[in-house]
Amino acid sequence: MKVLLIKTVDTLGSPGEVVNVASGYARNYLLPKKLAVVATKGAMKMADSLKAAAVVREKEQNKAAEVLAEKLRDITLAFAATADENGQLYGGIGEREISAALLEKKFEIDKQQVILDGHIKKLGEHKVQIKVLGEIIETITVKVEAEV
């Protein structure tokens, strides 16, 4: 089924693009969530205006993301955790904890934007990447100290 995207869908494309998808995916996901419309002749006339609006919106979002990335660059998060004598944590610090700590500092970063290979399991300083928007990725510092 051919559909015209109204909003950006990560796996498909950006607004104004016509894509061919499974009819069930279109009927059950894209159309009800108003992410796309059926690609009719009338909808195709709307495609150019959608593309133009998407370009403007993307520029604005990129500017906002760059500002956020600039602010994140200087952020250092400190965590206190229980650890053994070798510096190995009994628990771990993951995406959820980092996201919550950033939220306390007034940064609205979702846990899915935090890029970790695995939970932080050792004391010390760790570099963690935050996917701000698209290809804009910033690195923050996470310090894990032994709980006293």
Residues 46 and 87 in one domain: no
Residues 132 and 83 in one domain: yes
Q: Which CATH number belongs to the domain containing residue 58 in this structure?
A: 3.40.5.10
| Range(s) of the domain holding residue 24 | 2-65
Q: Which among 45, 65, 85 is the end of a domain? A: 65
Count CB atoms within 10 A of the CB of residue 3: 24
Distance between CA 140 and CA 76 in Å, rounded? 6
Q: Which helix (H) or strand (E) holds 70?
A: helix 41-72
The pLDDT tens digits of the residues spanning 74-116 come to: 899 999 999 999 989 998 899 999 999 999 999 889 899 999 9
Share of the chain above pLDDT 90, in %: 51
The pLDDT tens digits of the residues spanning 114-140 come to: 999 889 999 999 999 999 887 889 999
Residues 77 and 140 in one domain: yes
- The reported pTM is 0.69
Is the Cβ–Cβ distance between 132 and 64 less than 8 Å? no
| Total of domains in the chain | 2
Residues 82 and 58 in one domain: no
Q: Which CATH number belongs to the domain containing residue 126 in this structure?
A: 3.10.430.100
Residues 45 and 90 in one domain: no
Residues 57 and 78 in one domain: no
φ and ψ of 62, to 5 deg = -65, -40
Residue 15 has pLDDT above 90, yes or no: no
